[in-house]
Amino acid sequence: MYGLVNKAFEQFVKQRYGDDRWERIRKISQLDIEFFHNMRPYPDQISYQVVGAISKELQIPAEEVLRMVGRYWLQHTAAEGYGNLLSLEGTNFQDVLGKLNLMHTRIKMLYSQLQPPSFEVTDVTEEGLLLHYHSKRPGLAWFVVGLVEELGARFKTEVAVELVQQRELGADHDVFQIRYLKESPSHV
C-alpha cells in the first residue's frame, strides 16, 4: 500500500490518542520507519502490522480500528487529497458509490503502482443497495465499512452497513448491505 494509507493510520492515532501512543504502537509493530512518504509504495504487511499494533495498544478489535480509520480517511486524508475527485464523481451518496472505480482510475494516474479495489453496486431499491468489493488485499472490508458510513454522512444520508458476504469466510469477494436509515433525498 502507498504511504498515504499508512500515514492515515499514524495521523489518526496521533490526533485521537497523542504522539506518545503512536510511539508505543511503532514499538509494538516493530516499525523502523520514521516517516511514511505519501507517494511511495510499502509492503502490505507493514499496514497489517500497524493495524495489529493499534488494536493491541488501544485494546479494540482490529475490525473497529479499520472502521474508525476508514471514517478518518474520508474526513481527513481523502478530503485533503481527493476532495475534488469526490465532488466530480457525483452529487449524492449513490452516485459516488457507483463511480468509485472511475475515481480510482483517476487516482491511479497519480500513483502508478496503485492496485485499487473494484466496486459494483447492485440490487438498488429505495431502501438501500448492495455494494460488492473486490480486492487483492484480504482483511480490509471493515475499512470499507468506515468509508461508506462517512460517505453517507458527507451526503447527509444516514446508512447502516452490514457485511453480508465475507471473503475471509470463503466468499470470492465481500458484499455489503447498505440500508438508508432516514428518508433523505441525498441518496438518489
pLDDT attached to residue 126: 92
Structure confidence at residue 84 (pLDDT): 56
Say how far apart CA 83 and CA 178 lie, in whole Å. 23
Check residue 63 and give its pLDDT. 97
Work out the end-to-end distance of the chain between its first and last CA atoms, rounded to an integer number of angstroms.
Answer: 33
148 within a domain of the structure (yes/no):
yes
Residues 99 and 183 in one domain: yes
**Pair (45, 126) in one structural domain:** no
- Say how many domains are in the chain: 2
52 with 100, same domain?
no
Domain boundary at 60, 82, 102, which?
A: 60
Both 41 and 98 in one domain: the answer is no
Query: Residue 66 has what pLDDT?
Result: 97
Same domain? 39 vs 101: no
In order along its 188 residues, the chain shows pLDDT tens digits of 888 889 999 999 999 999 999 999 999 998 888 888 888 889 999 999 999 999 999 999 999 999 999 999 988 866 665 555 555 567 789 988 998 888 777 776 677 777 889 999 999 999 999 999 999 999 999 999 999 999 999 889 999 999 999 999 999 999 999 999 975 555 66
Cα–Cα dist 177/16, whole Å: 29
pLDDT score at 79? 60
Single-letter residue type at 81: G
20 lies in which domain range?
A: 3-60
Grid coordinates belonging to 79: 478530503
Q: What is the CATH number of the domain that holds 140?
A: 3.90.1520.10
Specify whether 135 is located in the same domain as 55.
no
Q: Is residue 141 part of a domain?
A: yes
